[in-house]
Structure 1
Amino acid sequence: AEMVMEGINPVLVESAARDNGAPVGPLAAIDEISQATAYHNGQQLKADTEARGEKWVDSAASILMDRMVNEFDRKGKVYGGGYYEYPEGGKKYIWPGLKQAFAPDGYKEIPYQDIKDRLLFSQSLEAVRAMQDGVVINVGDGNIGSIMGIGFPAQTGGVYQAINAYGLRAFVERSRELAERYGSDFEPPQLLMDRAERNELFM
């Protein structure tokens, strides 16, 4: 979502996800679920958060979802189109309105490897934060849940195993590189840095 809003070519985002081993790109996956469903789920999460007296901060994903549903009326495949157009009897293709909305002066170019890594690292780093906060306790459950639940590439073994395979210290260094270029969401959590220092795998 963030890369689409930055004006990066969505075709490259989808291609990078498949090259990472995902069965489909993230935009195609959301189209199948439907933007409308994801949007309403997000609104419920916002309401629940505020009901607990906690502050809600809109993410890039929630902002994009709001625009897709309410501004562009692009609610997903079942509604006739979302991030993709679905011509009858033809092959789906990225909705041209994305370029008009987010990259009217041309797509922003970043290294293709950065696109691939941003997709994987964002999910693995979020999983480490969840473990750090006590939301996830069991590594195995987190790995399986990431594959079955959010479509994390199966051949990686899951969000935590992907870090092990990359090498903890190398993962920390690459995270810092991504944070310098693309923001604090890629800053490695303390738990990851501590484990990297001890070379303690997620097991």
Structure 2
Amino acid sequence: MEKFGWPMGPAYLLDVVGMDTGKHAGAVMAEGFPDRMKHEGTTAIDVMFDNKRYGQKNEKGFYRYELDRKGKQQKVVDEESYKLLKPIVQGDKEFEDDEIIARMMIPLCLETVRCLEDGIVESPADADMGLIYGIGFPPFRGGALRYIDQTGLDKFVELADKYADLGPLYQPTDKLREMAKNGQTFFA
């Protein structure tokens, strides 16, 4: 995700935020949006939390943290994480960069679409600016809705449909499908 332009990848972000915070945020979202956000079974966050790997705050999470010669915490790959996660991994598979990006970006983009459709944000520009300034969305990509426009709504819906078996987070809204069918965009 760093290659895509994010300041850090999801595992590192969880370590920075803290596994306890990530677990709590996940529970709140699952309660509010159970159709899309509820998880069945044990998640990687659960494993880290249950093993007291809270991230940077206790120097071990998905990564291990050591002080460099200037006294700044540095992330280090920790083989123990792989061992802890092995029981919940559903099989070893190498993913191409494009597939990783799709699996990470589709849910974020679709939730942004829902925020616009539900009136949580007033305009596509408001949504995209919130993502850029609020969570560090890569500014040169313009935000989630600009990213969908640049991809092409029809191609984005097609890509989401390719991953629809991963669950409701990957399923486009009816309105987005209609926009794609009509050749519409979020930005003129």
Normalised-by-shorter TM-score class? 0.7 to 0.9
Deviation at 1:171, TM superposition (A): 0.9
The offset of 1:97, in angstroms, is: 2.9
Q: Residue in 2 aligned with 1:192?
A: 176
What is aligned with 1:137?
122
| TM-score with structure 1 setting the length | 0.75
1:8 alignment counterpart? none
In structure 1, C-alpha distance between the alignment counterparts of 2:98 and 2:31, rounded to whole Å: 37
TM-score with structure 2 length normalisation? Answer: 0.80
Letter in 1 for 2:164: A
Alignment counterpart, residue 80 of structure 2, candidates 97, 105, 110: 97
Identity %: 29
Match of 2:164 in 1: 179
- Specify the code of the residue in structure 2 equivalent to 1:87: E
Question: Which stretch shows the higher mean deviation, 136-145 or 154-163?
Answer: 136-145
* Unaligned 5+ runs, structure 2: none
Would the aligned equivalents of 1:99 and 1:107 in 2 still touch at CA under 8 Å?
Answer: no
Task: Indicate if the aligned counterparts of 1:168 and 1:201 stay in contact, CA closer than 8 A.
Answer: yes
Whether contact under 8 Å (2:54, 2:61) holds in the other structure is yes
CA contact (8 A) 1:31 1:82 kept: yes
Instruction: Tell me how large the CA RMSD over aligned residues is.
Output: 2.8
More helix by share: 1
* Cα distance change on mapping 1:55 and 1:36 into 2, 3 Å: closer
Aligned residues: 179
Distance change in 2, residues 1:119/1:24 (3 Å) = same
Equivalence map 1:1-203=2 (5 Å):
17-43=1-27, 45=28, 49=32, 58-59=38-39, 63-69=43-49, 71-89=50-68, 91-103=74-86, 107-180=92-165, 182-203=166-187
Q: Which segment drifts farther, 166-175 or 96-105?
A: 96-105
